A and B are shown apart, each in its own frame.
Chain A
């Protein structure tokens, strides 16, 4: 096993005992990147090559020099016996929407290809304060708009390390691919409808969408501000707990970051699931989608081996002392995606207004006297298909004559979705659940090119994850098996506000309960 395949908490032990140096850890990661990542995403990538089709392409930029310098400094500190941070020497990658001072932050869009932020996002700053070392920025769907990473302006797009003909999921696909391929032990992602959990499921890693407000959004290029949640991605539960510990908490730069004390996640991690009430809902084992011709709502069950995996995990947790409650009704789940379509696009269109070519980023080279023409050309030339679609729809559903019909209605649906959760988590009511156990996704990772272009169908990959964003509650996706197609299956736990410690504790139990199962030993294709 190479150093880069070890978890962060194992590496920390090795670093503390000085068996390895931070420089060795960083070198190992850089070697892995060189071995499996292929060429980084760029705006003018040209033809896709055979070699491209076999590599991961998680990174847009690798900041090797700075990382090695930082590692050297940390090694010197350790050698002198000076105090170091809790994550000192651990490499990480950040989705390219996290601003980091003096480095490029592109949001995988041409319009920000040359943008260097003059400040660092709170989440990255907190990791760096604990001595974690950023290795680089990873790819994503343009402006996080997608569930496959295919929409990035920086091609080749990331590929799934388990099968490079498949998507890694998205929009934090670069993050989960970089973690799954052993390029970094952990990564920062963002989750607006499932953008951490869905790619975590597709890539067989652990991803946490914290409670809205648990982690500051300061310095993160926004998608839909009322839904966006930054969160940790790693290969095991202990590592996401470590990372969440570092980044969670109030922030004077973000008034929506809640002033709620951050518990010691590691302290409760090993406390098991005895007596915990975990629910299963039939509404999370089928997807509802609209027939685009007839407008009728169709139902389709989730992939059978995914259903089976979730029930198996439920059995494992039951055998460890949890109480499993079946048939929990979540009647509004099916409206999650349509409501998300509307709310997210209204906020996204507005958030994209600032990219006008006036102050930073791309500006059309054609010199125009008319300001409006300059705006139009700039935005037309530099926004890809997804931002354009979202602007069009966002402007439409927020227009004065339609906002009641669409936007305000979607807000009401959002309140109903929240109520579904309030009722099942309420200790005074029937279900009294500590968590709801669901599949993370209805399918395993789909082939590149299979769905791209059908933005409605693409969105249904998020049907089980988007509800937590509407409700603001935390969720975690955990590896729960390998499907017959050889691809990872993700299972999701959803809990009430600020119950991350409980979800992590349950996730850790799941790891312990399945540690001897055969699928646990399987490795992504790029590492075989």
Chain B
């Protein structure tokens, strides 16, 4: 049996999170709105109206292009893509064709197995979304709310070699989009849409064989699942001596199967031509500088830096750079704390991530600011509170918004580091347990832990355990 290699390219549509649509002042996001409520003469294509470009769309597009290492064109053009569909009210979509906002580029995908897959970018352009069609019996219902919602279409080269790589690409893309703050990138809500072009070839071949296109997949798991199904099907076909046809396939999530939508042997002719209703888009150097002025360090760069600069394990660094607010939070806390970054990481990975998951907040929305976290860590280090008090404080600060210090003071949570108070209790414990004292003095020094525990219990946890141990040793070794 032949060994096959899988060849996958992804076409993604990214809904930008601008306030208004790309060519009119209608609200862009209609997720919670009734059909046909965010529409106007421009986005519904009434006769005589004209598009006016929303600058925020260009700015977000430029941020993405920069992050994908694409060449940004200082002059790009909008074009008309002509086709008929009821949810396309003008009968053409305003898109970008040959001279789009950016060309080329790549994204490096670190695979969990340890290797890196470089995925090239073939196309990156801005366009308007079409509306939605819903079939209800023999009626077609059209919702124009989505018409004119800004999209960036990004097409990769045929560079991905497994369903898993495709999934990792989407995970990293989603991370990047959120990191840049340009899209909510929620696949379930259609903010990030993905069509997968799939083909197979004998291992060692560098030829591209007939591909199929999988559409309508609305989660990363489903993309992976659908590709796996399709690869199996193609292998079965080829093994049976059949040809793979250039079909468009629809993923049926409920039945967990692919359905043939149509044959796509010939390319549709969209009769592209320059959109005469819009001027060429000229990016001035000043505008570009303004857009890129606060361009952030990207997640993979930051991850590498966290490893080298803070000596974090790769696992920690990966999680802490999963989301931009979280990684900013981490860095701020480390700076204020000025102690071991790994300690900060432990608090974040264990406690704060759970807090975020439970509350649905992002790190920047916490009342428990990075400075408060650092304050707690310092108090633990200084022996002013013990570790478990420290952990309890996290919740208390988050609920009240008060500073850790003031909570410790008002609730009397501070450790007793008064030598005489601890000594009195320690003497009492030593006197009351002659048997254990004898065993200890006979050489079983590990019993010191038991003695400390007794002191702590007596003082209801408020004793400084280090000091207690020190005093006990002194008494026992007398």
Expressed in whole angstroms, the Cα–Cα distance for A352 and B92 within the complex equals 10
B50 lies within 8 A of A121 (CB) = no
Given contacts A252-B52, A253-B52, A375-B84, contact A358 B47 (CB under 8 A): no
* A396 to B, closest residue via Cβ: B271
Interface string of B34-57 (1 = CB under 8 A from A): 000000010011111111110000
Expressed in whole angstroms, the Cα–Cα distance for A254 and B53 within the complex equals 10
A121 lies within 8 A of B48 (CB) = yes
Pick out which of these stretches binds chain A: B187-195, B216-224, B273-281, B435-443: B273-281
B271 lies within 8 A of A354 (CB) = no
Interface string of A100-140 (1 = CB under 8 A from B): 00000101000010010111010000000000000000000
CB contact list, B2-54 vs A, under 8 A: 41, 44-53
* A216 to B, closest residue via Cβ: B50
Partner of A346, one of B41, B46, B138, B273: B273
Expressed in whole angstroms, the Cα–Cα distance for A253 and B277 within the complex equals 11
On chain A, the residues within 8 Å of B202 by CB distance are none
Expressed in whole angstroms, the Cα–Cα distance for A118 and B40 within the complex equals 10
A226 lies within 8 A of B276 (CB) = yes
CB contact list, B387-421 vs A, under 8 A: none
Expressed in whole angstroms, the Cα–Cα distance for A353 and B274 within the complex equals 16
> Interface SS of chain A: helix, strand, loop or mixed?
loop
Q: Is B332 part of the binding interface, using a Cβ–Cβ cutoff of 8 Å?
A: no
Q: Is A256 part of the binding interface, using a Cβ–Cβ cutoff of 8 Å?
A: yes
B86 lies within 8 A of A358 (CB) = yes
Given contacts A255-B52, A350-B82, A399-B271, contact A115 B140 (CB under 8 A): no
Given contacts A354-B89, A354-B90, A398-B271, contact A115 B47 (CB under 8 A): yes
Q: Is B206 part of the binding interface, using a Cβ–Cβ cutoff of 8 Å?
A: no
Expressed in whole angstroms, the Cα–Cα distance for A353 and B80 within the complex equals 12
A399 lies within 8 A of B47 (CB) = no
Q: Is B269 part of the binding interface, using a Cβ–Cβ cutoff of 8 Å?
A: yes
Pick out which of these stretches binds chain B: A175-183, A217-225, A275-283, A459-467: A217-225
B48 lies within 8 A of A256 (CB) = no
Q: Which residue of B45, B51, B269, B271 has the most chain A CB atoms within 10 A of its CB atom? A: B271
B138 lies within 8 A of A369 (CB) = yes
On chain B, the residues within 8 Å of A219 by CB distance are 48-49
B279 lies within 8 A of A221 (CB) = no
Given contacts A225-B277, A371-B140, contact A350 B80 (CB under 8 A): yes
Q: Is B296 part of the binding interface, using a Cβ–Cβ cutoff of 8 Å?
A: no
On chain B, the residues within 8 Å of A252 by CB distance are 52
On chain A, the residues within 8 Å of B82 by CB distance are 350, 353, 398
Q: Is B142 part of the binding interface, using a Cβ–Cβ cutoff of 8 Å?
A: yes
B41 lies within 8 A of A353 (CB) = no
* A107 to B, closest residue via Cβ: B47
Q: Is B313 part of the binding interface, using a Cβ–Cβ cutoff of 8 Å?
A: no
Given contacts A226-B276, A347-B276, A398-B271, contact A356 B47 (CB under 8 A): no
A255 lies within 8 A of B49 (CB) = no
Expressed in whole angstroms, the Cα–Cα distance for A112 and B48 within the complex equals 12
A255 lies within 8 A of B138 (CB) = no
On chain B, the residues within 8 Å of A255 by CB distance are 50-53, 277-279
On chain B, the residues within 8 Å of A355 by CB distance are 47
Expressed in whole angstroms, the Cα–Cα distance for A107 and B271 within the complex equals 25
Q: Is A1 part of the binding interface, using a Cβ–Cβ cutoff of 8 Å?
A: no
A350 lies within 8 A of B92 (CB) = yes
CB contact list, B115-152 vs A, under 8 A: 138, 140, 142
Partner of B48, one of A99, A356, A369, A399: A99
Q: Is A395 part of the binding interface, using a Cβ–Cβ cutoff of 8 Å?
A: yes
On chain A, the residues within 8 Å of B41 by CB distance are 117-119
Q: Is B339 part of the binding interface, using a Cβ–Cβ cutoff of 8 Å?
A: no
Partner of B89, one of A112, A359, A371, A403: A359
Q: Which residue of A105, A224, A256, A369 has the most chain B CB atoms within 10 A of its CB atom? A: A256
Q: Which residue of B48, B51, B52, B80 has the most chain A CB atoms within 10 A of its CB atom? A: B48
Q: Is B91 part of the binding interface, using a Cβ–Cβ cutoff of 8 Å?
A: yes
B47 lies within 8 A of A105 (CB) = yes
Expressed in whole angstroms, the Cα–Cα distance for A107 and B41 within the complex equals 17
Expressed in whole angstroms, the Cα–Cα distance for A355 and B47 within the complex equals 9
Report A367 CB to chain B, min CB distance, Å. 10
B92 lies within 8 A of A353 (CB) = yes
CB contact list, B261-285 vs A, under 8 A: 269, 271, 273-274, 276-279
Report B347 CB to chain A, min CB distance, Å. 52
A256 lies within 8 A of B273 (CB) = no
On chain A, the residues within 8 Å of B91 by CB distance are 350, 352-354, 356
Interface string of B277-302 (1 = CB under 8 A from A): 11100000000000000000000000
Expressed in whole angstroms, the Cα–Cα distance for A226 and B280 within the complex equals 13
B45 lies within 8 A of A354 (CB) = yes
Interface string of B65-86 (1 = CB under 8 A from A): 0000000000000001010101
A118 lies within 8 A of B46 (CB) = yes
Given contacts A256-B277, A353-B90, contact A99 B47 (CB under 8 A): yes
CB contact list, A57-109 vs B, under 8 A: 97, 99, 105, 107
* A374 to B, closest residue via Cβ: B86
On chain A, the residues within 8 Å of B142 by CB distance are 358
B273 lies within 8 A of A407 (CB) = yes
* A228 to B, closest residue via Cβ: B276
Report A9 CB to chain B, min CB distance, Å. 30
Q: Is A518 part of the binding interface, using a Cβ–Cβ cutoff of 8 Å?
A: no
On chain B, the residues within 8 Å of A407 by CB distance are 273
On chain B, the residues within 8 Å of A398 by CB distance are 82, 271, 273
On chain B, the residues within 8 Å of A253 by CB distance are 49-50, 52
Expressed in whole angstroms, the Cα–Cα distance for A298 and B49 within the complex equals 41
A117 lies within 8 A of B269 (CB) = no
Partner of A220, one of B48, B89, B92: B48
CB contact list, B82-106 vs A, under 8 A: 82, 84, 86, 89-92
B45 lies within 8 A of A371 (CB) = no
Q: Is A400 part of the binding interface, using a Cβ–Cβ cutoff of 8 Å?
A: yes
On chain B, the residues within 8 Å of A220 by CB distance are 48
B52 lies within 8 A of A359 (CB) = no
Expressed in whole angstroms, the Cα–Cα distance for A395 and B273 within the complex equals 12
Given contacts A346-B273, A347-B276, A395-B271, contact A354 B138 (CB under 8 A): no
Partner of A353, one of B49, B52, B84, B269: B84
Report B55 CB to chain A, min CB distance, Å. 11
On chain A, the residues within 8 Å of B86 by CB distance are 356, 358, 371
On chain B, the residues within 8 Å of A222 by CB distance are 47-48, 277
On chain B, the residues within 8 Å of A369 by CB distance are 138
On chain A, the residues within 8 Å of B278 by CB distance are 255-256
Report B363 CB to chain A, min CB distance, Å. 40
Report A83 CB to chain B, min CB distance, Å. 31
B84 lies within 8 A of A217 (CB) = no
On chain A, the residues within 8 Å of B90 by CB distance are 353-354
Expressed in whole angstroms, the Cα–Cα distance for A358 and B142 within the complex equals 10
Expressed in whole angstroms, the Cα–Cα distance for A220 and B277 within the complex equals 12
Q: Residues on A close to B: CB < 8 A?
A: 97, 99, 105, 107, 112, 115, 117-119, 121, 217-222, 224-226, 252-256, 346-347, 350, 352-356, 358-360, 369, 371, 375, 395, 398-400, 403, 407
Q: What are 20 A-B contacts with C-beta separation under 8 Å? A: A117-B41, A117-B47, A118-B41, A118-B46, A217-B50, A218-B48, A218-B49, A221-B48, A222-B277, A224-B276, A226-B276, A253-B50, A255-B50, A346-B273, A353-B92, A356-B84, A356-B91, A398-B82, A398-B271, A407-B273
Q: Residues on B close to A: CB < 8 A?
A: 41, 44-53, 80, 82, 84, 86, 89-92, 138, 140, 142, 269, 271, 273-274, 276-279
Q: A220-B48, A354-B91 given. 8 additional CB < 8 A pairs? A: A97-B48, A219-B49, A256-B279, A358-B86, A360-B46, A375-B84, A395-B271, A400-B271
Question: Considering the complex of A and B, which 5 residue pairs feature the smallest CB-CB distances, nearest first?
Answer: A353-B91, A226-B276, A225-B276, A398-B271, A221-B47
